[in-house]
Amino acid sequence: MSPVRVRFYATFRPIVGGKFADLPVPDEATLGDLLDEILTRWPELREHLVGADGGFSKRANLFVGGRAARFLPAGLATPLEAGQEIDCFPAVAGG
Amino acid sequence: MRLDTFGQKIAHIDLAAGTFEVRPAPEEWVRSYIGARGLGVRYALEAGPEVDPLGPENQLYFMNGPLTGSEASMSGRWACVTKSPLTGTVTDSHQGGWTGARVRWAGFDGLVFEGRAENPVYAFVEDGTIELRDASEIWGKGVHETVAFFQERYGAKNLAVNAIGPAGERMNRFAAWVNDDDRAFGRGGTGAVGGAKNLKAIVIRAKLTKSQVDDPDRWKEVRRDALDVIRDEVNITSPRKGGLSVYGTNVLMNVTNRIGALGTRNSQTTSFGDGAELISGEHVKETILTGDPTCHACPVACKKEVEITEGPWKGLRMESVEYEPAWSLGSNCDNADVAAIAKMIDQCNDHGMDPIELGNVLSMYMEATERGFAPEGGGLAWGDTAEMVRLTDAIGLREGEGDLLAEGTTLAATRLGHPEIAMACKGQAVPAYDPRGLKGMGLGYATSNRGACHLRAYVAAAELGVAPGDAEPLDPLEWRGKGELVKVFQDLHAFSDSLDLCKFSAFAEDATHYADQYAIALGKPFSPEDVMTAGERIYNLERRYNNLAGFGAGSDTLPARYLEEPSTEAGSKGHVSELPQMLAEYYSARGWDEGVVPDRKLRDLGVV
């Protein structure tokens, strides 16, 4: 599969050193596989992306087509598609 | 200053007579409505919901809360309450900075301005006294010049200046009070009420005064508990680590854009595409950020000072490029020029205007122009920043087309013959969260007691996953359950607005933190359940005011665009707001009859 572009925002940008990264993923990879690749490349993101229970953090967000992974029917088991862009956000809010 | 005597020192200033008298607020009012927002609304109800907002009988309440100016974190807030000339509802707006704190340190819990001065005056507040002084030298001046004038006259040390600009003097319906150049009572047109009263400014000179409580050890403990969660690195409030502290409120721009909740071109679409990055907090930090100023007792420092280094506004230093105006004057107007946005925010600070309403009135006028509704010889093209800047001055000064647009989005669109292009609720323009992509926020807009508002019920916290503690994030596209959720947020925020702690404290603190701190200030036990009950009482008090002011069944609604025109953008594609279903849930949770508070509910809550 062609690389998946992951866009990073806010406090994640200084950690990854840029606004986005093109990450290689195998055929039939899932969003969870991509998360593993992100955590392998940037271990500092683990405390932000992984909750105390070992699951995906309740505060961070991985968006696929503007929908948070936690609200997709298959969650992190959602298959990735070629040319897809993923958004990776820390907790953000304001007013 | 003793915290447990809060409410004893409310100054009533008779503008016509030039005198003032200090009277305690009725004990039952302070006990039931806490302070700031709640207490101010109780006073406003007493004055009568039928008053003309711009008439001398409308009163202007600047109210501290029991924690304002104390050592509690994020306690630099106070409220301005009055009947709004923009909406006809009761309104309250809150300022950061040090002005409220200095009023407390000067010996007052609140300032009530009554009547109308014959000539322009300002109130000088110091050491338990208030004097009305001639303001003719500064009438007509912008806020920046007014602040400089008073700093020159009285010295900048320990001084706070809260002023209206030319917009307030001309009774622009969305005029604001602005303190120390850039912190505003922004929404609802409170500045116009000041202008109608010939009240130019409130100048306070007072040095920091420590709080006195019966149990200082416990006071220290509960404040430390609150500060610990504010500092916790899992929270966005964490100093220099959390997104709110590092990037300010504009850290939101990219996420709302990516989920299809960023209104664009007067909410004709729900995403600004690649343009959002150019007006985002991340871009501001990379390119023009120069400082992170803060407010009294706040470790978060969400304000962002910038300097424009190139282009027509080179050399401009201002604060603060917040998410709301970056949206209202940015994507909402099809404008990706962050320097122009900074320029217009600074114009708003100087004229004394609400930039949320300004951005909406401009985007409405742009759509009117596109559709051929603008008056002959007038009009405004999408993203025409030079004309936007020119019109901003014209609106502040009520010159030319600016006179019409100074009436606010709803009235101006109505006078153009097309109220359907006004993105507003109860006469106040919408903020920066499109209700098609964040369903709970839409219900919050519709049921807000001061017109469209994101701060009455900041349910985006739950919909984006930043509610305090272990709360589960809620699907922003699911309407079910949002009725009860909006009620809870409205009640909690009604309480925090009455303490008066910054709304952003709720990203870390919960009802227990509020209860524990208030109990020490009160000198009596107070529980988290009491917090929610008091918040509900305050929310119902406001609703009662509005019912008496003519807002009945059918008043809680959204612009038809959000209900009938589906989003076409990723994240929210195909969605509209399911407002009727959410309203049914909400009214059931509230115990209201189609937006009207029944007598039994008023009795149950002890609302008069």
The DSSP-derived string for B111-172 is EEEES--SS-EEEEEETTEEEEEE-TTTTT--HHHHHHHHHHHH-STTEEEEE--HHHHTT-
Q: Which residues, other chains included, contact A43 with Cβ-Cβ below 8 Å and sequence gap of 6+? A: none
Q: Is the pLDDT of residue A83 over 90?
A: no
Nearest-by-CA chain A residue for B250: A94
**Cross-chain Cβ contact A58/B472 below 8 Å:** yes
**Chain B, nearest residue to A66 by Cα:** B571
Do residues B268 and B560 make contact, with C-beta atoms less than 8 angstroms apart? no
Phi, psi angle pair for B232, to nearest 5°: -55, 130
Secondary structure of residue A8 in the 3-state scheme: strand
Q: What angle do CA B179, B180, B185 make, to 5 degrees?
A: 20
* Matching residue, tokens 């004097």: B131
* A92 contacts B323? CB cut-off 8 A: no
What does the pLDDT read at residue B470?
A: 73
pLDDT value of position B378 = 94
Can you tell me the distance from the alpha carbon of B65 to that of B7, in angstroms, rounded to the nearest whole number?
A: 9
**Cβ–Cβ contact A87 with B under 8 A:** yes
The C-alpha of A20 sits at a distance from chain B's nearest C-alpha, in angstroms, of 13
Chains A and B form CB pairs within 8 A to the count of: 105
CB contact under 8 A, B259 and A63: yes
Tell me which residue of B586, B603, B596 sits closest to B487, measured CA to CA. Answer: B586
pTM greater than the 0.90 cutoff:
yes
Query: Alpha-carbon dihedral of residues B136, B141, B144, B148, nearest 10 degrees?
Result: -40
Measured between alpha carbons, how far is B153 from B174 in angstroms, rounded to an integer? 29
Which among B323, B473, B477 has CB closest to A94?
A: B323
What's the whole-number mean pLDDT along residues A17-43?
A: 95
Q: Within an 8 Å CB–CB cutoff, is residue A46 touching chain B? A: no
Residue B40 predicted with pLDDT over 80 = yes
At A1 the pLDDT is 67
Is pLDDT above 90 for A82?
no
Q: Say which residues have a Cβ less than 8 Å from residue B376's Cβ, sequence separation at least 6.
A: none
Tell me the pLDDT tens digit for each residue of B332-355.
999 999 999 999 999 999 999 999
How far apart are alpha carbons B478 and B447 in whole angstroms? 18
Average pLDDT, chain B: 97
Please indicate if any CB of chain A lies within 8 Å of the CB of B440. Answer: no
* Yes or no, beta carbons of A95 and B243 under 8 Å apart: no
Closest CA to A90 of A59, A64, A68, A63: A59
Q: Give bridge partners of residue B122 from the DSSP assignment.
A: B133, B201
4-43 of A, contacting B, C-beta below 8 A: 9-11, 13, 19
Collect all residues of chain A within an 8 Å Cβ-Cβ radius of residue B459.
none
User: Which of B235, B259, B285 is the best residue to mutate to test the A interface, defined by the most A CB atoms within 10 Å of its own CB?
Assistant: B259
CB B436 within 8 A of CB B575: yes
- What residue in A sits closest to B569 (Cα-Cα)? A66
Which DSSP state fits B471?
P
Q: Packing angle between helix B482-499 and helix B511-522, nearest 10 degrees?
A: 30
A13, A65, A90 member nearest B570 (Cβ): A65
Q: Is B569 on the interface with A (CB under 8 A)?
A: yes
Q: Which of B232, B253, B255, B321 is the best residue to mutate to test the A interface, defined by the most A CB atoms within 10 Å of its own CB?
A: B255
Residue in A9, A81, A85, A92 to test binding to B, most B beta-carbons within 10 Å: A92
Phi/psi of residue B495, nearest 5 degrees: -70, -50
DSSP letter (8 states) at residue B472: P
pLDDT for the residue B380 = 98
Q: How many residues does chain B have?
A: 608
State the average pLDDT over residues B120-147.
98
**What is d(CA B136, CA B117) in angstroms, rounded to the nearest whole number?**
12
pLDDT tens digits along B453-488? 999 999 999 999 887 777 789 999 999 999 999 999
Give percent above pLDDT 70 in chain B.
100
Which chain A residues are Cβ-neighbours of B258 within 8 angstroms?
Answer: 63, 66, 87
Task: Inform me whether the C-beta atom of residue B468 falls under 8 Å from chain A C-beta atoms.
Answer: no
Q: B466–A60: do the CB atoms touch at under 8 Å? A: no
The pLDDT-based confidence of B518 (bands split at 50, 70, 90) is: very high
Span B379-407, pLDDT tens digits: 999 999 999 999 999 999 999 999 999 99
Q: Would you say the ipTM is above 0.85?
A: yes
The burial class, CB within 10 Å (0-12 / 13-18 / 19+), for A93 is buried
- Is A59 an interface residue toward B (CB < 8 Å)? yes
Q: What is the mean pLDDT of residues B168-197?
A: 97
List b or e across B265-293, with b for residues whose CB sees 16 or more CB atoms inside 10 angstroms. bbbbbbbbeebbbbbbbbbbbeebbeebb
> Does residue A65 sit at the B interface (CB-CB below 8 Å)?
yes
Q: Which two tokens stand for residue B592?
A: 């209201």
pLDDT bin (cut points 50, 70, 90) of residue B421 is very high
| B63-97 pLDDT per residue, tens | 999 999 999 999 999 999 999 999 999 999 999 99
Residue A30: what pLDDT?
96
Chain B residues whose CB is inside 8 A of the A60 CB are: 465
Contacts of B460 in chain A (CB under 8 A): 93
**pLDDT above 90 (res A2):** no
Question: What's the confidence (pLDDT) of residue A31?
Answer: 96
Find all residues with CB under 8 Å of B590, minimum gap 6, and list them: B487, B540, B601
Q: Which of B180-184, B270-274, B340-344, B585-589 has the lowest mean pLDDT?
A: B180-184
Least CB–CB distance from B571: residue in A13, A67, A94: A67
Task: Specify burial of residue A75 (Cβ count, 10 A radius: 0-12, 13-18, 19+).
Answer: middle
Contacts of B260 in chain A (CB under 8 A): 66
Nearest Cα residue to B149 out of B158, B137, B133, B157: B137
CA distance B238 to chain A (A): 11
Is there a contact between A93 and B507 if contact means CB atoms under 8 Å apart?
A: yes
Q: Which of A77-91, B466-480, B485-499 tops mean pLDDT?
A: B485-499
